[in-house]
Amino acid sequence: MEFDIKTVSVEPFEGQKTGTSGLRKKVRVFQQPGYLEAFVQSVFCALPEIPGSGFDQPSAEERVLVLGGDGRYFNKEAIRNILRLAAANNVNRVLVGQNGLLCTPAVSAIIRRRNLAGGIILTASHNPGGPEADFGIKYNTKDGGPAPESYTDVFYKWTRQIREYRIAVDPSTADGDPFSEISLERPRVYEFLSRDTKSRFVIEVIDSMDDYVSLLKEIFDFQMLRELFRRSDFSMLFDALHGVTGPYGKRIFVEELGAAPESLRNCQPLEDFGGGHPDPNLVYAADLVSRCDPKQNPNAPQFGAASDGDGDRNMVLGRGFFVTPSDSLAVIVAYAKDAIPYFRKGGLVGAARSMPTASAVDKVTAKLKINVFETPTGWKYFSNLLSSGKAQICGEESFGTSSDHIREKDGLWAILCWLSILAYRNVGKTPVGSFIGIQQIVEEHWKEYGRNFFTRYDYEECDAVAAERMMAHLRQYQENGDYAVLERVVGHPVIVADDFTYTDPVDHSVAKNQGLRFVFANGSRIVFRISGTGSTGATIRMYIEKFVQDQAKMFADTAEALSDLIHVALQVSQLEAFTGRTAPSVIT
Ligand code: G6P
Ligand code: ZN
């Protein structure tokens, strides 16, 4: 089959600037004629200018990309268009996930395992989907991670100067699409020839799961996990929130590990995620939370888990018990070498957490005598640590956890870590009926290392100027250096009060102004920062952490344990006076 290349004029669109989460906009914005085309053409114009992109040398090996998304509204249409743009822009081959679906961690795995030049992921992560909601497009490079600034700056330059895009056409078809006949429904290779350049263009529909599942099988002991699922006193509930991980959950938990089909909830990917927010937390996954609570469901499973729209975030629950992401990271690191073959064989020399993430993992790394790093918020800051071998496991309070097996967060990986810990504690060790569950494992962890109570208050859609004024006020407060009010409440002196600065230990780059923190001598912390991902106004995040070693106080309710600190943090920040907000929009 042959196609022609057509050049179409286009005017640059405002605001096609991307960060590490790509270009995220309303579907309506993407639906403007030429909008998606202008952006994708800009990427294809930029890549040859970027050293190491795989497109920078005429004689480079095959320019192969992988393409897929989380199945949200506009996914299919975008895939069709991107294939036509790729064909007209020197791409040799595009691997497309079956039905256009690929979870974010699978894209990262496919790029790395197959040595591809990169990948295009169609997702707006945990944001809602549908005609009135969000869409996104993100480029990942050949290490499997999101394009860094050295790429996105060139993308942006091109979006401002773009005047035309090149697209494959076939005048003999009704809609001009030369690929309209191909089916994404099953794996198959399609070959085309460009009449203009005489070069071959291949579309290969691939199984969305094979590469990723093979990788997970190399990391975890699936045999042992199967034994866990064989126990009559163990059951699991996995909620995909109608995101892309549904089919992966079915394949991994049910087909590979033998979980009962009833273990799956909301595992059918839907274009609008069933109208919900595909974000795994106590607010948006409330249905799962109540099903896992024995007070509300006598048949509550031992283990509950969820992931977000594109599969990079995770939430972990026991019976009526929520594991904070900060604790999750700490417990995974503590058990990694015992419970997970990948770390048993490959070792574990370090772990990392973002600065606002509670410091529970630091206690574990200290005991294991391994590295620990505190980075700014944003997965990209872990990249150098992972690639240089300084750290293998990373996590953030925002429900992201992963390791150096890929360069993205990985929700299913985190869930398999917890299943591995449960298997390690139970299989061949506990008699049926005395299952050691999530809560016991976490409480034992607290008894050994102490407990880091943690909460995050989000004040969404604040007036941006007011939010900046509040931050300026707090900076001034830090300059004055009189912390008597804080110290009276906490009962310990402030030992660090600054605007967090991070120096990357690998490339020595410096990231400044990453959040205002007050650290007390007993390990308690108050942190304020403005979210980097909010879309309207400014989202203020207030993070509160308290470290408790006294077992008499360890099992208190989080809100109660932190109430003093929350109160004094609001007092010194004057958040209400600056923003007019009397309560947070979300508490996690
Ligand atoms: C995304 C990023 C994370 C980050 C989170 C919250 O999920 O991948 O690395 O922690 O957003 O960021 P924010 O700036 O809104 O606190
Ligand atoms: Zn996500």
Cα–Cα distances (Å) from 172 to 81, 163, 274, in that order, read 18, 27, 38
- Based on the fold, state whether residues 182 and 40 are members of the same structural domain: yes
- Out of 400, 427, 449, a domain closes at 449
Looking at residue 297, the DSSP 8-state letter turns out to be: -
Inter-residue contact 245 to 311 (CB < 8 Å): yes
Tens-digit pLDDT profile for residues 9-20: 999 999 999 876
Evaluate if residue 217 carries a pLDDT over 70: yes
- Based on the fold, state whether residues 139 and 156 are members of the same structural domain: yes
Q: Whose Cα sits closest to atom 6 in ligand 1?
A: 398
**Which residues constitute the domain of residue 246?**
211-449
Q: How many CA atoms are closer than 13 Å to the CA of 547, on its beta-carbon side?
A: 18
Evaluate if residue 332 carries a pLDDT over 90: yes
Question: Rounded to an integer, what distance in angstroms lies between the CA atom of residue 50 and that of residue 469?
Answer: 39
Distance 126 CA to ligand 2 centre (A): 5
Element (H, E) at 314: strand 314-318
Q: Whose Cα sits closest to atom 2 in ligand 1?
A: 378
Evaluate if residue 61 carries a pLDDT over 80: no
- Which CATH number belongs to the domain containing residue 523 in this structure? 3.30.310.50
The interface predicted TM-score (ipTM) is: 0.97
46-50, 193-197, 305-309, range with the lowest pLDDT: 193-197
- Based on the fold, state whether residues 468 and 502 are members of the same structural domain: yes
Give the per-residue pLDDT at 201: 95
11-25, 152-166, 349-363, range with the lowest pLDDT: 11-25
Distance 543 CA to ligand 1 centre (A): 14
How many helices and strands, by DSSP H and E, does the chain display? Answer: 19, 26
Tens-digit pLDDT profile for residues 248-275: 999 999 999 999 999 999 999 999 999 9
Inter-residue contact 540 to 530 (CB < 8 Å): yes
Inter-residue contact 313 to 279 (CB < 8 Å): yes
Helix (H, G, I), strand (E, B) or coil at 119: strand
- Average pLDDT of 505-526? 94
Question: Rounded to an integer, what distance in angstroms lies between the CA atom of residue 379 and that of residue 409?
Answer: 7
Distance 156 CA to ligand 1 centre (A): 21
Our mutation pick for probing the ligand 1 site, out of 21, 284, 379, counting the most ligand atoms within 8 A of Cβ, is 379
- Out of 392, 416, 449, a domain closes at 449
Q: Whose Cα sits closest to atom 7 in ligand 1?
A: 398
**Residues forming beta bridges with residue 204, ordered by sequence position:** 95, 189
Question: Rounded to an integer, what distance in angstroms lies between the CA atom of residue 465 and that of residue 201?
Answer: 51
Evaluate if residue 172 carries a pLDDT over 90: no
**Residues forming beta bridges with residue 177, ordered by sequence position:** none
Closest ligand 1 atom number to CA of residue 532: 14
pTM for the full predicted model = 0.95
Sequence-distant (6+) residues with CB within 8 A of 443 are 555
- Based on the fold, state whether residues 421 and 563 are members of the same structural domain: no
**Average pLDDT of the chain, as a whole number:** 95
- Based on the fold, state whether residues 147 and 33 are members of the same structural domain: yes
- Based on the fold, state whether residues 99 and 180 are members of the same structural domain: yes
**CA of 377, nearest ligand number:** 1
**CA of 379, nearest ligand number:** 1
Inter-residue contact 85 to 203 (CB < 8 Å): no
pLDDT band of residue 5 (cuts 50, 70, 90) is: very high
Question: Rounded to an integer, what distance in angstroms lies between the CA atom of residue 414 and that of residue 8?
Answer: 45
Helix axes 325-339 and 360-368, enclosed angle (nearest 10): 20
Distance 411 CA to ligand 2 centre (A): 9
Inter-residue contact 44 to 85 (CB < 8 Å): yes
Give the per-residue pLDDT at 175: 85
Question: Rounded to an integer, what distance in angstroms lies between the CA atom of residue 293 and that of residue 321?
Answer: 8
Residue 307 is encoded by which pair of tokens? 């992931």
- Which CATH number belongs to the domain containing residue 164 in this structure? 3.40.120.10
Tens-digit pLDDT profile for residues 473-487: 999 999 999 999 999
- Based on the fold, state whether residues 253 and 187 are members of the same structural domain: no
Helix axes 149-161 and 35-46, enclosed angle (nearest 10): 120
Give the per-residue pLDDT at 430: 97
Closest ligand 1 atom number to CA of residue 409: 8
Our mutation pick for probing the ligand 1 site, out of 315, 377, 406, counting the most ligand atoms within 8 A of Cβ, is 377
- Based on the fold, state whether residues 353 and 252 are members of the same structural domain: yes
Give the per-residue pLDDT at 532: 83
**CA of 277, nearest ligand number:** 2
Other CB atoms closer than 10 Å to residue 554's CB: what's the count?
15
Distance 494 CA to ligand 2 centre (A): 35
Evaluate if residue 82 carries a pLDDT over 70: yes
pLDDT band of residue 326 (cuts 50, 70, 90) is: very high
Distance 192 CA to ligand 1 centre (A): 40
Cα–Cα distances (Å) from 361 to 326, 334, 373, 421, 580, in that order, read 7, 8, 10, 16, 36
- Based on the fold, state whether residues 16 and 142 are members of the same structural domain: yes
Evaluate if residue 515 carries a pLDDT over 90: yes
In the chain, % of residues over pLDDT 90:
93
Residue 358 is encoded by which pair of tokens? 């509670």
Q: Whose Cα sits closest to atom 13 in ligand 1?
A: 531
Give the per-residue pLDDT at 18: 86
Give the per-residue pLDDT at 21: 82
- Based on the fold, state whether residues 404 and 465 are members of the same structural domain: no
Helix axes 411-426 and 325-339, enclosed angle (nearest 10): 60
Our mutation pick for probing the ligand 1 site, out of 354, 394, 530, 533, counting the most ligand atoms within 8 A of Cβ, is 533
**CA of 314, nearest ligand number:** 2
- Based on the fold, state whether residues 343 and 254 are members of the same structural domain: yes
- Based on the fold, state whether residues 477 and 560 are members of the same structural domain: yes
Distance 135 CA to ligand 1 centre (A): 17
Q: How many domains does the chain have?
A: 3
Residue 181 is encoded by which pair of tokens? 């006949």
Query: Taking CB atoms and a 6 Å cutoff, what residues make up the pocket around ligand 1?
Result: 377-379, 396, 398, 400, 531-533, 541
Helices (H), 388-542: 411-426, 438-449, 464-480, 484-490
- Out of 184, 208, 232, a domain closes at 208
Element (H, E) at 367: helix 360-368
**Active-site annotation, residues:** 125
Tens-digit pLDDT profile for residues 336-352: 999 999 999 988 999 99
Tens-digit pLDDT profile for residues 99-127: 999 999 999 999 999 999 999 999 999 99
Measured in degrees and rounded to the nearest 5, phi and psi for residue 136 equal: -155, 160
Closest ligand 1 atom number to CA of residue 534: 15
Residue 361 is encoded by which pair of tokens? 């993992």
The size of the chain, in residues, is: 588
Question: Rounded to an integer, what distance in angstroms lies between the CA atom of residue 178 and that of residue 174?
Answer: 10
Evaluate if residue 502 carries a pLDDT over 80: yes
Closest ligand 1 atom number to CA of residue 529: 16
